[in-house]
């Protein structure tokens, strides 16, 4: 049966990296210019919309096809359906997981933008609030 376990494992590694970035933002070790952060977050959200369209296009594959009216034909039909849309290691399952990672990334970018703003405000307060 076809499986997308490797893609799912790669996605898990990316999710772990994203958590590391979120931790760096929370620790004050990573920040980015707010406008850059917002553009990156918006791009993540655009990617989520694109993934939704791909998942929608997969739905016809979720209907069991006829590969012969016998046990082997039914097994093949089920295997194709499962690989496309059923389960976490299906194409659709991996894509749904990728949306979660993209949402987390968008939030991390926005948090990094807020961290930069907070650092700038703290610097202004510490050093007298700006130019004479």
Considering the chain, what is the average pLDDT of its residues? 83
Residue 67 half-sphere exposure, CB side, CA atoms within 13 Å? 14
Q: Of 101, 119, 127, 100, which is closest to residue 32 (Cα–Cα)?
A: 119
What sign results for the dihedral spanned by CA atoms 109, 113, 115, 119? positive
Cβ atoms within 10 Å of 108's Cβ, excluding its own: 25
pTM above 0.95, yes or no: no
The predicted-structure confidence for 83-119, as pLDDT tens digits, reads as follows 666 666 678 888 888 999 999 999 999 999 999 998 8
Confidence of residue 7 (pLDDT cuts 50, 70, 90): confident
pLDDT at 58 over 90: no
Q: Are 44 and 103 in contact (CB under 8 A)?
A: yes
- Residue 104 CA to residue 36 CA, distance in Å, equals 17
Confidence of residue 127 (pLDDT cuts 50, 70, 90): confident
pLDDT attached to residue 1: 40
Give percent above pLDDT 70 in the chain: 80
């Amino acid at each position: 049966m076809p499986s997308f376990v490797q893609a799912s494992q790669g996605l898990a590694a990316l999710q772990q990296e994203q958590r590391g970035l979120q931790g760096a933002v929370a620790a004050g070790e990573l920040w980015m210019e707010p406008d850059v952060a917002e553009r990156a977050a918006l791009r993540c959200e655009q990617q989520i919309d694109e993934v939704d369209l791909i998942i929608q296009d997969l739905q016809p594959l979720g209907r069991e096809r006829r590969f012969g009216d016998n046990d082997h034909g039914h097994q093949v039909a089920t295997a194709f359906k499962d690989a496309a849309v059923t389960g976490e290691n299906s194409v659709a399952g991996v894509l749904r997981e990728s949306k979660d990672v993209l949402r987390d990334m968008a939030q991390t970018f926005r948090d990094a933008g807020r961290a930069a703003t907070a650092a700038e405000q703290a610097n202004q307060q510490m050093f007298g609030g700006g130019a004479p």
